[in-house]
Copies of this chain bind each other. A is one copy, B any other.
Amino acid sequence: MNVNTIALLHPGNMGVTIGAAAATSGAQVVWASTGRSHATGKRAGNAGLKDVVNVSDAVRQSQVVLSVCPPHAAVDVAQEVAAMNFRGVYVDANAVSRATAEEIGGILTKSGASFVDGGIIGSPVKQAGTTRLYLSGDRAEDVARLFAASMLDARAIGNQPGAASALKMAYAAWTKSTDVLILAIRAFAAHEGVEKALLDEWSVSQPALAKKCDRAAAVAVPKAWRYVGEMNEIAAAFEAAGLPKGFHLAVAQLCERLACFKDQTDPAPTVATVIDILAQRAGYRL
């Protein structure tokens, strides 16, 4: 695959580092500033991405389009690119369900593009070993090669578009939902007046759990507003696989309650404030 130019739609905190990683292939990575914030522009500029102003110009120049955006915007971005008769390789690296990934694949291939499904696991790429980009679809290996010289660990996992998204869901089905479950259990223990006894018991038999609570409150809770859609998608995917959907629906419900902590990272929420909100909200809703 001969790639001179790669379009990144759009350079968020995660996306900008994926774009920078793609630039290590030697291709120029472009983005489109129209309608984007000043903060996005600054981030993209610092990462060495070239602003071509309009999405249509970005797409026209590029052999590869990388879509890294909030999950709810993924289908819109795909439709916008498909409407420009893009015939290169479109990579959707968003946290969408397999079904949504397949829908996006359908939109792109109908307009003549190749589709590669992607799933990012880990944090923004700032050092080696922290982030994997899973890729599936006929051109997955070609796309993975673009990142061979970068700190991003890009892994092709087969021809089936949808597999990368399914993997990302299976992963989040544990990590994100147990972060929320453990806080719900703390809220339950507090409601029952046995929180201290539970922490004492954990210190003996489950020594990792108290720290998991602290980390879930500080790191997961400010992002919980974003998990709602993802947990609902996991629930639907579990149901489609013949497994109960209730687990992840319950997580989605709790994430709605935690939305009041949206992006509050300084100071980060504490377990005490989170379970207070969970319990109070619970009270108000009954």
Q: A interface vs B, CB < 8 Å?
A: 98, 121-122, 129, 132, 134, 155, 157-158, 160, 162-163, 166-167, 169-171, 173-175, 177-178, 181-182, 184-185, 187-189, 191-194, 197-198, 200-201, 204-206, 209, 237-238, 241-247, 249-251, 253-254, 278-279, 281-283, 285-286
Contact = CB atoms under 8 A, between A and B. Distances in A.
Contacts of A278: 243
Residue from A160, A184, A209 having most chain B Cβ neighbours under 10 A: A184
Contact of A193 (B160, B185, B250): B160
Given A171-B198, A244-B253, 20 more contacts: A132-B204, A157-B197, A163-B192, A163-B197, A167-B189, A169-B188, A169-B192, A170-B185, A170-B198, A171-B201, A173-B181, A174-B185, A184-B247, A187-B241, A188-B243, A192-B237, A192-B241, A243-B254, A244-B254, A250-B250
B166 A242 contact: no
Nearest to A174: B185
A242 B279 contact: yes
Contact of A188 (B160, B162, B173, B254): B173
In the A-B complex, list the 5 residue pairs whose CB atoms are closest, starting with the nearest. Answer: A242-B282, A246-B250, A246-B246, A166-B192, A244-B250
Given A173-B188, A185-B174, A238-B184, A197 B283 contact: no
A225 to B, nearest CB: 17
Main secondary structure of the interface of A (DSSP, over half): helix
A59 to B, nearest CB: 30
A63 to B, nearest CB: 26
A185 to B, nearest CB: 5
Contact of A237 (B98, B121, B188, B205): B188
A63 B149 CA distance: 76
A192 B167 contact: yes
Contacts of A251: 247
A157 to B, nearest CB: 5
A188 B200 CA distance: 34
